[in-house]
């Protein structure tokens, strides 16, 4: 932090980023082996209802049909909840109401928070990567990289028009502008998402 700003404020705003990896490492004893447990994937996976069957039924209390998700989603939720509870008991210290958690020790609730944090990262990666993947798929589906099927489908840009700083015809813009941009943007998220299930990757990035 800038010394002049720190002096004016009277305190330092900077603090090291606290990650799951550093938290587990600093415990006594260290608990990094939690990330190697066979249940870690089940306990932290994101459960989604998309592309899963739904059942429609009529209700006497409403004028519109109700939709419920297939039993597979409910089963996944129960499996995840069970895995979280097993891991919290396996790696967390259970205390009575009168006991206080010692410093450097992870209780059952702390284990749950670790698992929730890793699970939140799944959702964060997907929400950042999935829209880019969809745009990339739409680009290849609706635009020919060589031929402009219709005038409105041209990706060509001209210097000075609509904020463009370069002049590219349709083919060059597709090849060097649009497609690489989507690919480069999604690469870090895709790499994380692809390797997330590996314990070695978990150890190094959380």
Residue 107 φ/ψ, nearest 5 degrees: -85, 180
Low-confidence ranges of the chain (pLDDT < 70): 1, 51-70, 149, 177, 179, 182-206
**pLDDT tens profile 130-159:** 888 888 888 888 878 777 767 777 777 777
Distance from CA of residue 24 to its chain's centroid?
A: 20
Q: Distances from the Cα of 66 to the Cαs of 59, 60, 69, in angstroms?
A: 7, 11, 10
pLDDT of residue 39: 95
Domain ranges in the chain are: 17-205
pLDDT of residue 7: 85
**pLDDT tens profile 99-117:** 788 888 899 999 999 999 9
Query: Which among 50, 18, 198 is positioned nearest to 127, based on CA atoms?
Result: 50
pLDDT of residue 80: 94
pLDDT of residue 157: 76
Residue 11 φ/ψ, nearest 5 degrees: -160, 165
- Could you tell me the pTM of the whole model? 0.66
């Amino acid at each position: 932090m800038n010394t002049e700003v720190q002096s004016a404020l009277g305190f330092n705003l900077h603090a090291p980023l606290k990650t799951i990896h550093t938290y587990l490492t600093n415990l006594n004893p260290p608990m990094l082996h939690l990330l190697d447990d066979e249940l870690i994937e089940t306990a932290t996976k994101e459960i989604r209802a998309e592309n899963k069957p739904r059942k429609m039924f009529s209700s006497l209390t409403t004028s519109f049909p109700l939709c419920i998700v297939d039993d597979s989603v409910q089963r996944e939720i129960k499996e995840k909840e069970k895995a979280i509870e097993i891991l919290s008991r396996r790696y967390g210290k259970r205390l009575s109401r009168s006991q206080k958690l010692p410093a450097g020790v992870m209780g059952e609730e702390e284990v749950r928070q670790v698992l929730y944090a890793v699970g939140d990262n799944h959702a964060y990666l997907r929400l950042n990567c999935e829209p880019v993947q969809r745009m990339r798929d739409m680009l290849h589906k609706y635009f020919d990289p060589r031929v402009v099927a219709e005038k409105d489908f041209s990706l060509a840009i001209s210097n000075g028009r609509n904020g463009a700083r370069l002049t590219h015809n349709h083919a060059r813009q597709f090849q060097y502008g649009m497609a690489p941009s989507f690919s480069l943007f999604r690469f870090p998220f895709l790499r994380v998402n692809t390797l997330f299930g590996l314990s070695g990757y978990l150890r190094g990035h959380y």
